């Protein structure tokens, strides 16, 4: 959605850029403290050998299981290869695997040897249990599976698998010399995710799971990845349900066309539609591999050099194999994997990015002129007059709230509505809006730095599903009403995984979406409620679907 050059991670800075390493470390400590020290460790036999995990409160944990050969050296930018046999035939799966290379503040952390997954199973055991495979977010440039504790989900009788996948330009790269090698190209991170799903098909029964009942779910870039697997012919048969949380950004609108054919991502002369993301040829020159660049030179460049040039977010490609059409095109044509879907957004998605870009930096107050400049930097030029008119600076208490409302509606909510409508023409589709305006953290946590309430911001629903920290690294503390909302969401999500419908006896009904009723389930406390006003509240028909 940008015009012109942007600074590195302009959309995702401040606390959020640093939170992953902090949260990973905290999660390791937290999970270790709940391990039952004297119980016999859970043991499972997989295709690669014996896996010995550890017990925790309510869960058997199997951490850091390699599902692919490390994609290093000559294997960088090649399709992932299934992992073979564990050395000695046994793996002690009690620690998380490496996270993939990414920025943490001004440094680069992680390791290219990062294709690991984690399995969390109910301590009570069982067989043919429903499986939920979590795909983390982070704009396809940051994050890891290690940051999410699925204890609450597992308590509801499901197995949760979380995975790492290649990120940034090591995971999503269109470059002429690499693409000429004859292998599947471009979407290496999505290929990793599909190999992990294949691992689940081959191994999850040994953990008590049902490979015929696998739901993929993810948030932000993880939600976009879920959409991509729905659209992907090579993902057919790997899952039976899908939940996409806030994955509709940069897609499903004519002015959001950043999922482009592979050749458009390769060449400086191609009309690559995201001016913030360099083409493969530009990036090759930036890291010192010249013109024309060779694959040998590119593979010899240390990973941190590529991380240094990453911008937030980046996008997958229409590569002709994993994606044969844009995601939006596949949905509109009905040429996607037909499984039940939950899809939704948060009510105030973009407030997170406004807070990080302005309030938590040196210039928290947006003046009228600065608001205009921010809109011009964020939206394509033809849209700017409409945005400034409909979301005028004077109509909101602060410029931050005006910018948050405009980008929430234009980049998340209305695209989500369009995705919902396209999917619902072919499969059962359940739409939601997370709307707890008091989602943690409270303004008080920032010592008066925030100039406006965050509301139901991007990522805020995650702390209602996972036992974790919030987007800024604060420990999550939910009030009693919020805990009730959390319980409702956990029941909806896991009931969907069990049955293909989220509806639970005794809870508010969640109607399947159709264009005649336009019903979304608004997730808020004291109890969720079905609404038909989602499109009107986000000005979809009034503005965004007419641009």
Q: Are strands 90-92 and 59-66 parallel, antiparallel or unpaired?
A: unpaired
Q: Is the separation of the CB atoms in 355 and 400 below 8 Å? A: yes
Counted residue by residue, the chain has a size of: 547
Q: Is the separation of the CB atoms in 45 and 57 below 8 Å? A: no
Residue 359 confidence (pLDDT):
87
Q: Which residues are catalytic?
A: 220, 349, 458
Residue 28 confidence (pLDDT):
38
Q: Is the separation of the CB atoms in 217 and 135 below 8 Å? A: yes
Q: Are strands 520-523 and 429-434 parallel, antiparallel or unpaired?
A: parallel
Q: Which of 84, 72, 16, 3 is nearest to 380 (CA)?
A: 3
The CATH architecture of the domain made up of 15-260 is 3-Layer(aba) Sandwich (3.40)
Task: Please state, in angstroms and rounded to a whole number, the distance separating the CA atoms of residues 520 and 532.
Answer: 6
Task: Please state, in angstroms and rounded to a whole number, the distance separating the CA atoms of residues 391 and 394.
Answer: 8
Per-residue pLDDT of the chain (547 residues; tens, 9 = 90+): 433 333 333 333 333 333 333 333 333 334 443 444 457 999 999 999 999 999 998 999 999 999 999 999 999 999 999 999 999 999 999 999 999 999 998 999 999 999 999 999 999 889 999 999 999 999 999 999 999 999 999 999 999 999 999 999 999 999 999 999 999 999 999 999 999 999 999 999 999 999 999 999 999 999 999 999 999 999 999 999 999 999 998 789 988 888 989 998 998 554 444 566 788 999 999 999 977 899 999 999 999 999 999 988 999 999 999 999 999 999 999 999 999 999 999 999 999 999 999 888 866 778 999 999 999 988 989 999 999 999 999 999 999 999 999 999 999 999 999 999 999 999 999 999 999 999 999 777 787 888 899 999 999 999 999 988 877 888 888 999 999 999 999 999 999 999 999 999 999 999 999 999 999 999 999 999 999 999 999 999 999 999 8
Task: Please state, in angstroms and rounded to a whole number, the distance separating the CA atoms of residues 162 and 218.
Answer: 10
CA dihedral 193, 77, 9, 443 (to 10 degrees): 20
Q: Which of 367, 439, 449, 444 is nearest to 403 (CA)?
A: 367
- How many helices (H) and strands (E) the chain has is answered by 19, 20
Q: How does DSSP classify residue 19?
A: H
Residue 25 confidence (pLDDT):
36
Phi, psi of 19 (to 5 degrees): -70, -25
Q: How many CB atoms lie within 10 A of CB 3?
A: 16
The model carries a pTM of 0.92
Task: Please state, in angstroms and rounded to a whole number, the distance separating the CA atoms of residues 126 and 121.
Answer: 9
Task: Please state, in angstroms and rounded to a whole number, the distance separating the CA atoms of residues 12 and 2.
Answer: 14
Q: What is the CATH number that goes with domain 340-546?
A: 3.40.50.1820
Task: Please state, in angstroms and rounded to a whole number, the distance separating the CA atoms of residues 316 and 297.
Answer: 23
Task: Please state, in angstroms and rounded to a whole number, the distance separating the CA atoms of residues 254 and 273.
Answer: 12
Where in the chain do CATH 3.40.50.1820 domains reside? 15-260, 340-546
Residue 268 confidence (pLDDT):
58
């Amino acid at each position: 959605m940008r015009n012109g050059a942007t600074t590195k991670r302009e959309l995702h800075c401040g606390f959020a850029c640093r939170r992953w390493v902090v949260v990973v470390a905290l999660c390791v400590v937290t999970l270790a403290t709940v391990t039952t020290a004297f119980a016999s460790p859970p043991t499972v036999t997989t295709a690669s050998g014996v896996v010995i995990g550890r017990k925790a409160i309510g869960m058997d944990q199997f951490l850091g299981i390699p599902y692919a050969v490390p994609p290093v050296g000559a294997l960088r930018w090649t399709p992932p290869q299934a992992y073979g046999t564990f050395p000695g035939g046994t793996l002690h799966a009690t620690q998380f695997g490496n996270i993939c290379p990414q920025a943490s503040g001004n440094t680069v952390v992680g390791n290219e040897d990062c294709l690991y997954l984690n399995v969390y199973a109910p301590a009570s055991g069982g067989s043919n249990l429903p499986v939920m495979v979590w795909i983390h977010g982070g704009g396809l440039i940051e994050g890891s599976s290690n940051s999410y504790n699925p204890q609450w989900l597992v308590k509801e009788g499901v197995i949760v698998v979380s995975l790492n996948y290649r990120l940034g330009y090591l995971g999503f790269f269109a470059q002429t010399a690499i693409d000429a090698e004859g292998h599947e190209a471009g979407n290496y991170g999505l290929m990793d995710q599909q190999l992990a799903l294949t691992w689940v098909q081959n191994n999850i029964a040994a953990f008590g799971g049902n490979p015929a009942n696998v739901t993929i779910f993810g948030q932000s870039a993880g939600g976009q990845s879920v959409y991509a697997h729905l659209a992907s012919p090579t993902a057919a048969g790997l899952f039976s349900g899908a939940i996409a949380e806030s994955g509709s950004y940069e897609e499903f609108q004519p002015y959001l066309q950043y999922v482009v054919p592979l050749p458009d991502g390769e060449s400086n002369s191609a009309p690559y539609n995201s001016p913030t993301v360099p083409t493969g040829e530009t990036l090759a020159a930036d890291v010192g591999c010249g013109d024309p660049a060779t694959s040998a030179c590119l593979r010899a460049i240390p990973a941190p050099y590529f991380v240094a040039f990453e911008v937030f977010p980046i996008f997958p490609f229409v590569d002709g194999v994993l994606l044969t059409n844009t995601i939006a095109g596949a949905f509109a044509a009905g040429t996607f994997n037909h499984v039940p879907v939950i899809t939704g957004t948060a009510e105030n998605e973009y407030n997170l990015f406004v807070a990080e870009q302005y309030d938590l930096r040196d210039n928290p107050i947006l003046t009228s002129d600065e608001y205009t400049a921010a809109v011009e930097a964020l939206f394509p030029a033809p849209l700017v007059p409409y945005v400034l008119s409909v979301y005028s600076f004077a109509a909101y208490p602060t410029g931050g709230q005006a910018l948050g409302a405009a980008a929430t509606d234009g980049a998340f909510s209305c695209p989500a509505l369009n995705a919902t409508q396209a999917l619902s023409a072919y499969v059962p589709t359940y739409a939601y809006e997370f709307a707890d305006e008091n989602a943690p953290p409270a303004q008080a946590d920032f010592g008066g730095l925030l100039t406006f309430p965050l509301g139901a911001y991007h990522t805020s629903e995650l702390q209602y599903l996972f036992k974790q920290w919030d987007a800024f690294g604060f420990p999550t503390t939910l009030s009693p009403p919020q805990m009730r909302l959390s319980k409702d969401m956990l029941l909806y999500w896991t009931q969907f995984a069990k049955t293909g419908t989220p509806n639970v006896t005794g809870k508010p009904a969640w109607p399947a979406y159709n264009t005649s009723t336009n019903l979304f389930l608004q997730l808020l406390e004291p109890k969720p409620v079905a609404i038909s006003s989602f499109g009107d509240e986000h000005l979809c028909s009034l503005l965004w679907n007419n641009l």
